Amino acid sequence: MLVGSIPDSIGKLFNLEKLLLLTNNISGEIPSSIGNITRLGILDLSINMIEGTIPVSLGHCTNLREFHLGDNHLTGDIPQEIFGLSSLTILILSQNYLTGFLLQEVGNSKNLERLEISKNKLFGEIPATLSNCQVLEFLYMMANLFEGTIPESFQQLKGLQVLDVSHNNLSRQIPSFLRILKFGELTVAVKVLKLHECGAIKSFKTECEALKNICHHNLVKVITSCSSIDFKGNDFKALVFEFMKNRSLEKWLHPISFSEQHDPNHLTFVQRLNIAIDVASALDYLHHHCGVAIVHCHLKPSNILLDDNLCAHVGDFGLTRILSATTGISNHHQSSSIRIRGTVGYVAPEYGMAEEVSTQGDIYSFGVLLLEMFTGKRPTDNMFINNINIHIYAKRSLSNQVMVIVDRRIILAEEEEPSRTRQSSTNNISKLEVCLALFIQIGVSCSVELPHERLNSRDVLMEL
């Protein structure tokens, strides 16, 4: 094992292309004369006891591709001259005592594929210019003193496979683009729980418990979960799901952004029907085919996600209740009705009167959802006042006024079908009216006030 320091005379090896001195007991400083070896392509001094600073003269090594200095006793800043090496593909400086900012000039390393600066004392904000390193695949920055947030510009790093910024002083806000990640060929969505909110930890446990025992093609598929501790000792919990390319049903029914509002693609009648069947299939599975009945308790458009083929997948099981096989009552020890949470407009009215959770509560939510899908109206729309709700609104239309309340985009989609003549389009609209009346009737039957008067999920599936 080599000991001692690297001599200044090493700078006279002008033709040296590789210098590998890793895993020794070399001490002292890196001589500045090493910058004279301009043909140097690989420099590996890792796992030694080298002290001092990184010499700025290394900026003259314009052929340097790999630079390994990890696991030493280096101090001082990372010199900006290092980032001026356009040939550099690997830079490993982890496990030293480096201080200062990670300079904006890091973005000049256009060919950098791997950057490891973990376990140092670097501080300041993570430079957004790192996004200029378009071929970057591995970025390890853990155990430093970085502050601020993860730059939104990182979403430009399409080839990034590993991003480790754990154990820093970063804010707890995770950029939206990091909620959609690629693991090899699999794209996933990450749901990070806001643990500061009341009941968040309980919701996480409930969702994990429910998801581990269910499997159906119309339920969102969970890939894995994460339960850990952050650098401040706070709980960190997340769920990783299969990514749904076509977003939520909410985005289709009620577009918000300019691009969404002017998207020529609208859900047709048949597509809405298929989505309704998918959701009903999921409810039938949860209510009748899981050994014990599972009540979702949070059915609404934003919790229904659509895949590439617009097949619907029910998600968000944070409020789920598992009913006793013998009593049909929620297994939660506290009164499940008093503690029930949900979204106004979709929650069954009996839950507000201290009634126990039941599968009929899901049916009510499904009925409201069905009416919303075919009328385009939210159950909380400002038009619903003076004891008029979406159920009453739809029920009144069944007496020959269905086409008055129907979502106009359904009719437009039928009229604009290029393969239809005006006559066939007229005939089709007439048939559409009959079908719409049938489905609105199902929605009305599911959303009646008294639970025992509602259809059950099996009946709903047969009706659809």
Q: What does the pLDDT read at residue 279?
A: 95
The pLDDT of residue 207 is 66
Mean model confidence pLDDT for the chain: 83
First to last CA, the chain: 77
Q: What is the mean pLDDT of residues 141-156?
A: 87
Q: Rounded to whole angstroms, how far apart are CA atoms 443 and 463? A: 11
Backbone angles phi, psi at 180, to 5 degrees: -125, 110
β strands within 45-174, DSSP E:
66-68, 75-76, 90-92, 97-101, 114-116, 121-125, 138-140, 145-148, 162-164, 169-170
Whether pLDDT at 397 is above 50 = yes
Q: Token pair of 264, please?
A: 């020529």
Find the range with the poorest average confidence among 224-238, 242-256, 307-321: 224-238
At 95-138, the pLDDT tens digits run: 999 999 999 999 999 899 999 999 999 999 999 999 999 899 88
Residues whose CB falls within 8 Å of the CB of residue 36, separated by 6 or more in sequence, listed in order:
11, 12, 14, 57, 60
Query: 289: Cβ–Cβ under 8 A, 6 or more apart, which residues?
Result: none
- pTM, two decimals, is 0.60
Domain 1-167 class? alpha beta
Band of pLDDT at residue 259, cut at 50, 70 and 90: low
Is the model more confident about 241 or about 445?
445
Furthest-apart CA pair in the chain: how many Å? 98
Residues 342-390 have pLDDT tens digits of 688 899 988 877 778 889 999 999 999 999 999 999 999 889 888 889 9
Q: Report CA 229 to chain centroid distance, whole Å.
A: 20
pLDDT in tens, 67-92: 999 999 999 999 999 999 989 999 99
Where residue 232 falls among pLDDT bands split at 50, 70, 90? low
**Six-digit token pair at 307?**
């895949």
Locate 227 and state its tokens: 């339960």
pLDDT tens profile 10-48: 999 999 999 999 999 999 999 999 999 999 999 999 999
Give the pLDDT band (50/70/90) at residue 266: confident
Is the CB of residue 165 less than 8 Å from the CB of residue 150?
A: yes
Compute the average pLDDT of residues 401-425. 73
- The owner of tokens 């007496």 is 399
pLDDT at 339 over 50: no
Homologous superfamily of domain range 249-463: Transferase(Phosphotransferase) domain 1 (1.10.510.10)
What does the DSSP assignment read for 9-58? GGGG-TT--EEE--SSEEESB--GGGGG-TT--EEE--SS--BS---GGG
Residue 426 has a pLDDT of 65
Q: Give the rounded percent of residues in the chain with a pLDDT score beyond 90.
A: 44
**Domain ranges, ordered by start, for the chain:** 1-167, 249-463
Write out pLDDT tens, residues 182-229: 555 566 777 776 666 666 666 676 667 666 678 889 998 877 777 766
CA distance 161 to 158: 9
Whether the pLDDT of residue 244 is over 90: the answer is no
Dihedral sign computed on CA atoms, order 71, 72, 74, 80: negative
What pLDDT shows up at residue 182? 57
Residue 153 one-letter amino acid: S
Question: What is the model's pLDDT at position 30?
Answer: 95
Plot region of 450 (φ>0 → left; ψ -120 to 50 → alpha; else → beta)? beta
